[in-house]
Amino acid sequence: MQTHQAKRVAIIIEQVMQKRLTDVMTEAGVTGWTVLPVLGGSGRSGAWSREGQVSRAGSMVQVVCVIRPERLDTLLDAAFRVVDRHIGIVSISDCEVLRAERF
């Protein structure tokens, strides 16, 4: 089956920043992404879990974005502006996609 090279960017970020991130991505011309829930985690700022949250302040989500390789830098620049001062991580991996006309 015919597949096409792409990049998969996964951004784990605080839920309060989600809309700001996707807004910036949209401005940068990225229109496809998916948001996945996150139950908990641990990092430099300590461990947290959804259970321990009375507010959404501490919750995080994962925003996944599959894009053409040549658009990667635009996306990273945009994402970086939002993620910069906030906790969270950005990882990029290679992948292939079916139906490239969709990207």
Partner 1 sequence: MDQILSLAATNLLSPIILSFALGVAAALARSDLNIPEAVAKGMSIYLLFAIGFKGGVSVADHGIDAKLASSLLAGIFLSAVLPLIAFALLQVMSNLSRLDAAAVAAHYGSISIVTFVAATSVLESGGIVAEGYMVAVAAAMEAPAILSALWLISRGGADARHMDPDLMREIMLNGSIVLLVGSFAIGWITGAEGLARIESFIVSPFQGVLCLFLLDMGLVAGRGLRGGSAVLKPGVLAFGVVMPLVGASLGLVTGMLLGLSVGGVALFMVLSASASYIAVPAAMRVALPEANPSIYLTLSLGVTFPFNLTLGIPIYVSVASALAGG
Residues that bind partner 1 (CB under 8 A): 14, 16-17, 19-20, 45-47, 50-58, 85-87
CB of residue 1 to ligand AMP, shortest distance in Å: 18
Task: Name which of 63, 36, 59, 37 is nearest 49 in CA terms.
Answer: 59
Q: How far is CA 94 from CA 10, 51, 66, 73, in A?
A: 11, 34, 9, 14
Q: How far is CA 97 from CA 16, 32, 33, in A?
A: 30, 13, 14
Burial of 71 (0-12, 13-18, 19+ CB in 10 A): middle
List residues binding its own copies (CB under 8 A): 1, 3, 6, 8, 12, 22, 26, 31-44, 49, 60-62, 66, 73, 76-77, 80, 83, 89-99, 102
CB of residue 29 to ligand AMP, shortest distance in Å: 12
CB of residue 12 to its own copies, shortest distance in Å: 6
Positions that interact with ligand AMP (CB under 6 A): 12, 32-34, 41-45, 48, 60, 64-67, 87-89, 102-103
